[in-house]
Amino acid sequence: MSNLPSVSQVTLSHIAEHQEALEEFKDGFRKFAGLHDTVLYCSLHDPATPCPTGHTTSKTVSVWGSGGRIELTVAKFMALQKTVQPDWYQSMADGETWPKNTSRKRVRKSVDRSLAHLDECLLVHHKSQELESVEVFGVVEGGDILEERLRSARETAKRPVAGFCLDGLQTGCMDQALRTQLITAVTTELPEDKPRLLQGVGRPDEVLACVEAGVDLFESFFPFQVTERGCALSFSFHISPELAVPALDEERDTAGEALQNGDLSLDDQTQMTSFEINLKDERYRDDFRPVVEGCGCYCCKNHQRAYLHHLLVTNEMLAGVLLMIHNTTHYHAFFGALREALANDEMDLLKRRVLGERKD
Amino acid sequence: MLFTLILFRVLLSALTKYPVSRKGRKTRKTKLPLHKHTPSGKRGDDIRPKPPLHVTCSTWLLPESCEADVNTSENIMSLKKALSAASPLTLRIVAECPVTKARACDLILPHSAVSTPVFMPVGTQGTMKGITVDQLEGLGCQICLGNTYHLGMRPGPDLIEKANGLHGFMNWKRNLLTDSGGFQMVSLVKLSEVTEEGVKFKSPYDGKEILLSPEKSIDIQNSLGSDIMMQLDDVISSTLKGPRVEEAMHRSIRWLDRCIAANKNPDKQNLFAIIQGGLNVELRKACLDEMTQRDVPGFAIGGLSGGEEKNDFWRMVTLSTDHLPREKPRYLMGVGYPVDLVVCVALGCDMFDCVFPTRTARFGSALVPWGSLQIKHNQYAKDFQPIDPDCQCPTCFRHSRAYLHALFKSDTAATHHVTIHNIAYQLTLMLSVRRSIVEGRFPEFIQTFMKRMFPSRDQYPGWAVDALASVNVTLE
């Protein structure tokens, strides 16, 4: 794969259980994993896997590894960051405000705790030699309550952080209208010259709205989720008429039900969206076209839908490999188009292309 | 490696360069203050690790032999052009070991030349368990297997024919060998019934009754378009004794004739016979006598590698190679483990297939010259060397045992890494064997190989010692 973004993300959910090995390794996670030359961002949780609730305390948060729950104090959290040595990490935060009907009191606690954790993290951070060239992102919490969001943003912005993670706004926990409103308000309180990373949002329609609200960075778990359900991203994002592929619109309409933002609950993230095609469907059995015509990825250059269909039906591992390649490439090409549209002031055209006849 | 990204499944898009414009707000420029890394290549750099020797010929793993083989390939290709009108298979014997019965040959098939002795990985359902065809090609694989039974069920021969054969369907540009479906019929399906007509069984997918006859098997294989097809044989368990063994042997001969008659593409697809006869010397000899009278391009030694005693196994192998024509390839089906490969090359076999390296990889077992490593075991959690420091495969180039150990807990990518390594191991082993035969030092190679594989002489398997002694190699 080429043309990948310059940043990769790793999560403590995966790394926490390997702390001992990493400590002995000493040279940081990038080298341990044989990762290519990349900027590394370390998050707390894996955005693709919602966590069980009820385990966060005033002093700890929890991650779930292959062997079960691992409780993290700030001390342990920071010890892990020292072994990972990312380029930046999100500070430890309490983001458990996404379940419906989270009380105001609970939301307030999450803001307070996250600020306290941030201050503790920064203390340890500045004393630590291993983290000398590493940056910290503060985490803005506040659930769905505007005042709390503003409070969290203002307070976090006072700390010496390099950027901001916006937490508790994941796909499925609120509709896009509210999300846009909150993000727009929050970014007013944040400095212009520091990046804003939105956690847990990846669907193309939501991405477009959040970019307009002021977000700079997104996590790329959406292509993975699409792959896991045996689907392939197929939505069009080409504005110039030569590149537009009309056939795709017809497919998209018939592929899945048109989903309104906010219809999904957090559990339904496995549901297919209208941005993809389900290659397991019988109709692709003898479809010898590439997954997406004109896509330059390895999968589309070398294989056909019929072959992918066969691999999915027979439960072959290669299906996931090829789909992940395609979905990742397609998704990042979308972001390339998005950046270009912003530069050329063509956002309206892009939105119309991606969103089709949907009402915004 | 692609999979290191798939590993954690999440990447981050950076919107770094362009101002974000919002209605009524001034535009803002964002520059990540963090970018201490200056990637060594351009933005569009291919992140696949380049192995230290990036050559495109089939022997990329061993640079010295690559040169020799490039010259050989040129000769082969001109030879191929001259002979392609005549036959879809040509065997050129490059060297014969003066001590054992081993040979090193060039096997010229429609899609490419194959250096023997060769190990053929098994890609059952038209895919090599998670490995792309590019990766397989990069490892130097020249021929691999597809499975007629599985592919005949799903997606079926008609669809594959529409897709330009199995080559077109899976986009594999080199050679393919398909088995007849006989083995699966017997090993996988409970209620199968063998008659003179063929094998009757109930499809596991829709319960329908199907008859796999010699004609049907060849028909499917013709649709698949493989370079080498196997006859449908009457497959019985290798541990079976009694009159059924003789019946199966005779029937296999009759079925061979029916297969030959049914082959629609004798000019493009090679049909191999399969020698049966169980563990019975007379029956094997009778089968050999009969089958070698048919003009087939190659012979397989079947009915072995199914749990029988190793002492019986090697005797049947060497008996078979004694009576098979020198100028045609010998394919020992279902073998196998590294020791078995080396010994059976010494006994005169050229081609091998086995699911072992790919299957064992999925259980976390990595093959090395001194045995195997169970990567999932805790002892590797902090072991920062590669699986084999001397191995040149992409996995060993980039990853440590400790990393793979950790990866097994969270991602299937771990199995892909080990699969690649195991295939590389088997292919490299065969290349080393070939080279030693060409250079006239195969017996020395065997000695070194065994010493590396086993801690001491008294741990050498008895059957291997005997088998090698029978071809004049006394293990030290």
A7-219 fold: TIM Barrel (3.20.20)
Distance CA B26, CA A231 (A): 40
Residues B139 and B204 in one domain: yes
Query: In tens digits, what is the pLDDT along chain A, a chain of 360 residues?
Result: 667 788 999 999 999 999 999 999 999 999 999 987 899 999 999 998 888 989 999 999 999 999 999 999 999 999 999 999 999 999 999 999 988 889 999 999 999 999 999 999 999 999 999 999 999 999 999 999 999 999 999 999 999 999 999 999 999 889 999 999 999 999 999 999 999 999 999 999 999 999 999 999 999 999 999 999 999 999 999 987 655 554 444 444 444 443 433 344 444 567 899 999 999 999 999 999 999 999 999 999 999 999 999 999 999 999 999 999 999 999 999 999 999 999 999 999 999 999 984 433
Residues B382 and B396 in one domain: yes
User: Looking at residue A92, what DSSP letter applies?
Assistant: P
Give the whole-angstrom CA distance, residue A228 versus residue A81.
Answer: 29
B28 contacts in chain A (CB < 8 Å): 192-193
Residue B111 in any domain: the answer is no
- Please tell me which of the candidates B5, B154, B405 has its beta carbon nearest to residue A314: B154
User: Among B229, B231, B230, B221, which Cα is nearest to B160's?
Assistant: B221
Distance in angstroms (rounded) separating the CA atoms of residues B135 and B192: 37
What phi and psi, each to the nearest 5 degrees, are found at residue A320? -65, -40
Which chain B residues are closer than 8 Å to A41 by Cβ? Answer: 12
Number of independent structural domains in chain B: 2
Q: Are B314 and B321 in contact (CB under 8 A)?
A: no
Which tokens in the block code for residue B449? 């190989």
* Contact (CB, 8 A) for B358 and B121: yes
- CB contacts of B5 in chain A (<8 Å) are 1, 4, 8, 328
Question: How near does any CA of chain A get to the CA of B45, in Å?
Answer: 6
Query: Shortest CB distance from B12 goes to which of A7, A66, A313?
Result: A7
* B448 found inside a domain: no
- B364 and B218 both lie in a single domain: no
- List, in sequence order, every residue forming a beta bridge with B108; answer none if it has no partner: B90, B113
- Say if residue B389 is in the same domain as residue B256: no
Residues 383-402 of B with CB under 8 A from A: 384, 398-400, 402
- Both B182 and B294 in one domain: the answer is yes
**What is the per-residue pLDDT for B73?**
58
B249: distance to nearest CA of chain A, Å? 34
Specify whether B206 is located in the same domain as B324: yes
How far is the CA of A133 from the CAs of A40, A128, A155, B37, B419, in angstroms? 12, 10, 24, 11, 37
- Is A210 a known ligand-binding residue? no
Distance between CA A35 and CA A41 in Å, rounded?
13
What's the gap between Cα B466 and its chain centre?
A: 27
For residue B273, being part of any structural domain is answered with: yes
Residue in chain B nearest A43 by alpha carbon = B10
Contact status, residue A338 vs residue A208, Cβ threshold 8 Å: yes
- For residue B7, being part of any structural domain is answered with no
Options B69, B227, B353, B388, the catalytic residue: B353
Chain A nearest C-alpha distance from B139 (Å)? 17
Q: In this complex, is the C-beta atom of B192 within 8 Å of any C-beta atom belonging to chain A?
A: no
| CB spacing of B129 vs A316 below 8 angstroms | yes
Query: Residue B211: which CATH number?
Result: 3.20.20.105
Report the half-sphere exposure of A267 (CA within 13 A, side-chain side): 3
Q: Which of B293, B325, B353 is the last residue of a domain?
A: B353
B308 and B428 in one domain? no
Q: Would the CB atoms of A41 and B12 count as touching at under 8 Å?
A: yes
Q: CA nearest B352: which of B237, B281, B434, B263?
A: B434
**A77, A63 in Cβ contact below 8 A?**
no
Q: Tell me if chain A has a CB within 8 Å of the CB of B378.
A: no
How many Cβ pairs within 8 Å bridge chains A and B?
Answer: 225
Question: Which of B131, B398, B402 faces A25 most closely, judged by CB atoms?
Answer: B402
Interface residue of A23, A188, A216 to substitute, partner B, most B CBs within 10 Å? A216
B interface test, pick of A317, A328, A332 with most B CB neighbours within 10 Å: A317
Same domain for B328 and B380, yes or no, is no
Query: Are residues B399 and A34, on separate chains, in Cβ contact within 8 Å?
Result: yes
Residues B268 and B317 in one domain: yes
Smallest Cα distance from A98 to chain B, Å: 21
Residue whose token pair is 């001109």: B78
Judge whether B383 counts as a catalytic residue: no
Query: Residue ranges of the domains in chain A?
Result: 7-219, 225-238+272-355
Distance from CA of B29 to the nearest CA of A (A): 7
Q: Looking at the structure, do residues B157 and B299 belong to the same domain, yes or no?
A: yes
Q: How far apart are CA A218 and CA A233, in angstroms?
A: 17
Cβ distance of B382 and A195 shorter than 8 Å:
no
- The distance in angstroms from the start CA to the end CA of chain B is 42
Is B46 tagged catalytic? no
Cβ–Cβ below 8 Å for A298 and B132: yes
Q: What is the pLDDT of residue A273?
A: 93
- Structural domain containing residue B391: 355-440
Same domain, B266 and B156: yes
Annotated binding site of B for Zn(2+): 391, 393, 396, 421
Q: Is A231 annotated as a binding residue?
A: no
- Domain boundary pick from B321, B353, B385: B353
Residue A51 annotated as binding site: no
Query: In angstroms, what separates the C-alpha of A282 from chain B's closest C-alpha?
Result: 11
| Residue B268 and residue B193 in one domain | yes
Q: How far apart are CA B174 and CA B110, in angstroms?
A: 9
Taking the Cβ of residue B239 and every Cβ of chain A, the question of whether any pair is shorter than 8 Å is answered with: no
What amino acid occupies position A340? E
- Cross-chain CB nearest to B7 (options A20, A33, A47): A33
Token representation of residue B151:
């592919």
Residue B472: count of CB within 10 angstroms of its CB: 13
Mutate to test the interface with A, among B1, B3, B6, B11 (most CBs of A within 10 A): B11
Give me the residues paired with residue A9 across strands: A41
Q: Hey, are the CB atoms on A316 and B22 less than 8 Å from each other?
A: no
Are A6 and B131 an interchain contact pair (Cβ–Cβ within 8 Å)?
no
HEC letters along chain B: CHHHHHHHCCEEEECCCCCECCCCCCCECCCCCCCCCCCCCCCCCCCCCCCCCCCCCCCCCCHHHHHHHHHHHHHHHHHHHHHCCCCCCEEEEEEECCCCCCEEEEEECCCCEEEECEEECECCCCCECCECHHHHHHCCCCEEEEEHHHHHHCCCHHHHHHCCHHHHHHCCCCEEEEECCHHHHHHHCCCCEECCCCEEEECCCCCCEEEECHHHHHHHHHHHCCCEEECCCCCCCCCCCCHHHHHHHHHHHHHHHHHHHHCCCCCCCEEEEEECCCCCHHHHHHHHHHHCCCCCCEEEECCCCCCCCHHHHHHHHHHHHHHCCCCCCEEECCCCCHHHHHHHHHCCCCEEECCHHHHHHHCCEEEECCEEEECCCHHHCCCCCCCCCCCCCHHHHHCCHHHHHHHCCCCCHHHHHHHHHHHHHHHHHHHHHHHHHHCCCHHHHHHHHHHHHCCCHHHCCHHHHHHHHHCCCCCC
Task: Give the DSSP H or E segment for A43.
Answer: strand A39-43
ipTM above 0.85, yes or no: yes
B24 touches chain A (CB under 8 A): no
Say which residues have a Cβ less than 8 Å from residue B190's Cβ, sequence separation at least 6.
none
Q: How many CB atoms neighbour CB B226 within 10 A? A: 28
pLDDT at B241: 85
Block means of pLDDT (10 residues each) for chain B, 476 residues, are 39 34 40 40 40 34 39 58 69 97 98 97 86 95 93 93 96 96 74 88 79 95 97 89 92 97 97 96 96 97 91 96 97 95 98 95 96 96 96 96 95 93 97 98 98 95 97 95
Which of B4, B40, B170 is nearest residue A34 as measured by Cβ atoms?
A: B4
Touching check for B372 and chain A: CB below 8 Å? no
**Selection from A91, A113, A108, A110 nearest residue A161 by Cα:** A91
Q: Which residues of B touch A194 (CB under 8 A)?
A: 30, 33
Show Cβ contacts of residue A188 under 8 Å, excluding neighbours closer than 6 positions: none
Q: Which residues in chain A touch residue B159, judged by CB atoms under 8 angstroms apart?
A: 285-286, 306
Q: How many CB atoms lie within 10 A of CB B125?
A: 21
DSSP category for residue A93:
-
Contact at CB, A318 and B130, closer than 8 angstroms: yes
Contact between residue A179 and residue A185 where contact means Cβ atoms under 8 Å apart: no
Q: Which residues of B are annotated as a binding site?
A: 179-183, 233, 276, 303, 391, 393, 396, 421
B21 in a structural domain: no
Quick check: B86 contacting A, CB < 8 Å? no
Q: Single out the catalytic residue among B179, B227, B340, B350.
A: B179
Which residue in chain A has the smallest CA separation from B172? A302
Residue A91 one-letter amino acid: S
Domain end residue (candidates: B303, B327, B353):
B353
Kindly report the nearest CA distance between residue A58 and chain B, in angstroms.
29
